[in-house]
Structure 1
Amino acid sequence: MTVRIRPVIGKRDRKRFVDLAYTLNGGDPNWVPPLRMEALELVTPGKNPFYEHAEQQLFLAEREGQLVGRISAHIDHLWLAMPADQGGGPGIGNWGMLEAVDAAVATALIGQAEQWLRDKGMTTAMAPLSCSIWEEPGLLVQGHDHPPTVMMGHANPAYQGWVEALGYSGVKDLLTFEIDITKDFPPLVQRIVSSGERNARIRIRKVDKSRFDEEAALILAILNDAWSDNWGFVPITPTEIAHTGKKLKPIVFEDLIRVAEVDGEPVAFMMTLPDLNEMTADFGGSLFPFNWIKLLRRLRKPRVKTMRVPLMGVVKKLQATRLASQLAFMMIEYIRRDSVADYGATRGEFGWILEDNQGMRSIAETIDGRVNKVYRIYSKDL
């Protein structure tokens, strides 16, 4: 049966693009329906600041009059400006948001995305990215047996084979680590933390939510410095900082985000979020008519199983020093204690972490973390 691919045009098509994910994944017990309003915002120019430095085309697949798949093709001009050794450079385009009922549909969709990139002068497809590296990068290739945490993706296990059959090869794996946070960390970590507590130069403080904009700017300044040499790094723009801050503010809790200061200078941070997916999994993707009331109640004092650490960074001048590791362990330990005592959490998740980021992998492994999910970014010459 013929698969017809057509571009998304207008609000009605964008809504159908978003709704299709709920239709195709509704039977997967480990897929968590995102809030529809946020999913729609993600693909709407004017509402997502990603489009200030990127161009994108969404596509829908139809067969016998029924929607059977979707994909996005896009070019991030900040990605094109990245050095080649960090995964960027001229000619690299992306696709993402793939959903398909079978291999034939996936093949047609990816083929259409590739052609759109070729027509724009791109010579390589690096994917999936949905949409930015800061949103949901990579295809889930390990860990389909449990739900993703907040701001992480999920995918049909069959997608890996369908993508690789089209000539795509993995270029980078992104790992998440899970940790039992009800147990004390190993004695070595406890000694490192105790040593830091005796060092008068070190201060680990909670963020001050009453100065939210100022604190957000401070954290993102450290982030842009700390991550600037990482593979896949794209600077976060001022508009994206404001947009992300507005989205995250309701799930920001002062005791779950720490800033490390040395001699009064902020040099590191650790951001932890209660797993919003646990709080919204029963909403079916909608806040209306009464789910918004439930969410407000749940956010007043979250009781969650899992805490996720999406972001952590130490300024470059301290990286690869013993002090950097000490600051990291101190922030992790303080947040672990509060997560268990104040939120009833039993599990932590770190990530994503680049597969070759030995410093962060070492920290995760030292606190007895184990890899629970792997997201793979692929590449193919066009």
Structure 2
Amino acid sequence: MAQTDLVITPVSGPIPNGADMKAFIDLPWRLYANDPNWVPPLKAEVKELLTPGKNPFFGHAEAQYFLARRGGTVVGRISAHIDRLALEQPVDQGMGPGTGNFGLFEAEDAATGAALIAAAEDWLRAKGMTRVLGPISLSIWEEPGLLIEGHDHPPTVMMGHNSPAYRAMIEGAGYAPVKQLKTYELDITQPFPPLIQRIVQSGEKNPRIHVRKVDKAQFDKEAAIILGILNDAWGNNWGFVPITDAEVAQTGKKLKPIVFEDLIMIAELDGEPVAFMMTLPDLNEAVKPLNGALFPFGWIKLLSWLRKPQCRTMRVPLMGVVQRLQASRMASQLAFMMIEYIRRNAVAQYGSTRGEIGWVLDDNQGMNAIADAIESRVNKIYQIYEKPI
């Protein structure tokens, strides 16, 4: 069919629901039907993500979703959104005034992709935006970037997957790469190199250092400690947007079932929490067979898995050391200690054989050096693009 048969329409309703929302959510099941590495998300979670009033992101953001149709068949989708907290960030950190985003991008072909991106740009321009950064779906803390390397294996929990064809579509629409996010994988059944072991042992002899598991019985208190370290540690990073209390509460509620005390460590120096490392069992291994549905029997399978996960992969989505220590040897020592303790627990208690660290900014020298030191290798690269409008 010709491009003139293509119709782009906004998803209807101030709080999207009904047929348009269902079509928006359902499209990837058709587009990725023959992709063995796509992991179907839980549809209920996707709807919650997209819905103001349920996703606290919308406490400081607004969005418009678009659908592309040919002959009544949905062939693409996109979101255009503006995060007011991102607008307040320094321009040299990637966000800043005038910067809007697109995300949740799916397209059956290049003509559809171009038309959807143009629709998102038009909406952002009408809202006064002068620059687009994307794809980001929806928050920088959720699924940022387009997968450009690593399509040959499934993503881990909370990581994205997309068609390799999208790179040409986005670049063809005039977007230029601005930042890469990398994930690293490693065999966690093997001890770390002797140098790392010596660094860990040295830290264990230092009376100023105490590395402990989180206490799930004091979940809110521990979450507040981690958030405080995170906002300090990541505050100068490219793309940083502060996490609100409402988002912390929502994320905590969602992650609590896969939070295990021996997989999350807090490091204290002279009694003060100064670093943390969060590790999650790869929920995607349990979710993929459910094909997006918890009912009628999916929830039983998922609950059974969650009681004591036995999974191949553990993912480290977040790790941070307070800024005042980041240029010191102490920072890497604390990081190696937390990584080693969690590695041991992951292998012994959960039967895991593989770890994944990320995402990591391409210019985060400290984290990239740590990943190299433990002999991990880059397994996926996600790219964020920008374009003036």
TM-score, normalised to structure 1, is: 0.99
Matches of 1:277 and 1:18, distance apart in 2:
18
Q: Are 2:276 and 1:269 equivalent residues in the alignment? A: yes
Letter in 1 for 2:278: M
Match of 1:11 among 13, 17, 38: 17
Letter in 2 for 1:11: N
The SS at the match of 2:67 is: strand
Cα drift, residue 22 of structure 1 = 1.6
- Determine the structure 2 residue equivalent to 1:34: 41
Cα drift, residue 167 of structure 1 = 1.0
- Determine the structure 2 residue equivalent to 1:20: 27
Q: Are 2:360 and 1:346 equivalent residues in the alignment? A: no
- Determine the structure 1 residue equivalent to 2:203: 196
Match of 1:332 among 339, 349, 352: 339
Cα drift, residue 88 of structure 1 = 1.5
The SS at the match of 2:195 is: helix
- Could you list the per-position Cα deviations for residues 21-53 of structure 1 after superposition, in whole angstroms to 9, with x for gaps in the alignment? 222112210000001110111100100001110
Cα drift, residue 82 of structure 1 = 0.7
Match of 1:296 among 292, 296, 303: 303
Q: Are 2:47 and 1:44 equivalent residues in the alignment? A: no
Cα drift, residue 15 of structure 1 = 1.9
- Could you list the per-position Cα deviations for residues 56-89 of structure 1 after superposition, in whole angstroms to 9, with x for gaps in the alignment? 0000000011110000000111111110110011
Matches of 2:58 and 2:33, distance apart in 1:
29
Matches of 2:277 and 2:45, distance apart in 1:
25
Q: Are 2:67 and 1:64 equivalent residues in the alignment? A: no
The SS at the match of 2:290 is: coil
Matches of 1:292 and 1:22, distance apart in 2:
20
- Could you list the per-position Cα deviations for residues 148-204 of structure 1 after superposition, in whole angstroms to 9, with x for gaps in the alignment? 000000000000011111111100000000011011101110000000000111111
Matches of 2:142 and 2:374, distance apart in 1:
26
Match of 2:116 among 109, 123, 145: 109
Matches of 2:96 and 2:229, distance apart in 1:
24
Letter in 2 for 1:97: L
Matches of 1:182 and 1:115, distance apart in 2:
51
Cα drift, residue 222 of structure 1 = 0.6
Q: Are 2:171 and 1:173 equivalent residues in the alignment? A: no
Letter in 1 for 2:311: V
Q: Mind listing any 5+ residue stretches in structure 2 that lack a counterpart? A: none
Matches of 2:302 and 2:81, distance apart in 1:
33
Deviating 4+ runs (over 2 angstroms)? none
The SS at the match of 1:140 is: strand
The SS at the match of 1:337 is: helix
Letter in 2 for 1:3: L
- Determine the structure 2 residue equivalent to 1:187: 194
The 5-angstrom pairing of residues 1-382 of structure 1 reads 1=2, 2-9=5-12, 10-12=16-18, 13-382=20-389
Matches of 1:327 and 1:172, distance apart in 2:
27
Matches of 2:30 and 2:55, distance apart in 1:
24
Q: Mind listing any 5+ residue stretches in structure 1 that lack a counterpart? A: none
Matches of 1:90 and 1:317, distance apart in 2:
28
Letter in 2 for 1:348: G
Matches of 2:224 and 2:30, distance apart in 1:
39
Letter in 2 for 1:319: Q
The SS at the match of 1:200 is: coil
The SS at the match of 1:353 is: strand
Matches of 1:66 and 1:371, distance apart in 2:
38
- Could you list the per-position Cα deviations for residues 328-372 of structure 1 after superposition, in whole angstroms to 9, with x for gaps in the alignment? 000000000000011010000000000000000000010001000
Matches of 1:26 and 1:200, distance apart in 2:
55
Percentage of matched positions with identical amino acids:
66
Letter in 2 for 1:6: T
The SS at the match of 1:50 is: helix
TM-score, normalised to structure 2, is: 0.97
Matches of 2:193 and 2:104, distance apart in 1:
40
